[in-house]
Amino acid sequence: MIIQGLGNKENIKVVTNCFSRLRVQLVDTTKINEEILNQTECSGIVKTKDGVQIIYGLSVPKIKIAVNKKLNLDNSEE
């Protein structure tokens, strides 16, 4: 559901996280669907110039790994 809310796989460049936020760089930020993202039990959504930060709290590392696994991206820590 997170990937769908971000405009699908083709729209996602990079997925990282900080302490409480899933940070996603996107190809096209106009494809963000906040209604779908709000259904993922996030605490908030912050749009940036080239992406979005979705606030999930302390569970965000597990969420990042799951999203990257679905996208077949590297799960290394940054």
- 3-class DSSP assignment, residue 12: strand
At residue 75 the predicted structure's pLDDT band, cuts being 50, 70 and 90, is low
Domains belonging to the chain, first-starting first, are 1-60 (3.30.1360.60)
Q: pTM of the full predicted structure?
A: 0.90
DSSP string, 25-54: EES-GGG--HHHHHTTT-SEEEEETTEEEE
Confirm whether 18 is a catalytic residue.
Answer: yes
Strand pairing partners for 22?
17, 54
pLDDT surpassing 90 at residue 78: no
pLDDT given for residue 73 in this prediction: 73
pLDDT given for residue 50 in this prediction: 96
Distance between CA atoms of residues 19 and 14, nearest Å: 17
pLDDT digits (tens, 9 = 90+) for 14-43: 999 999 999 999 999 999 999 999 999 999
The catalytic position among 1, 18, 46, 66 is 18
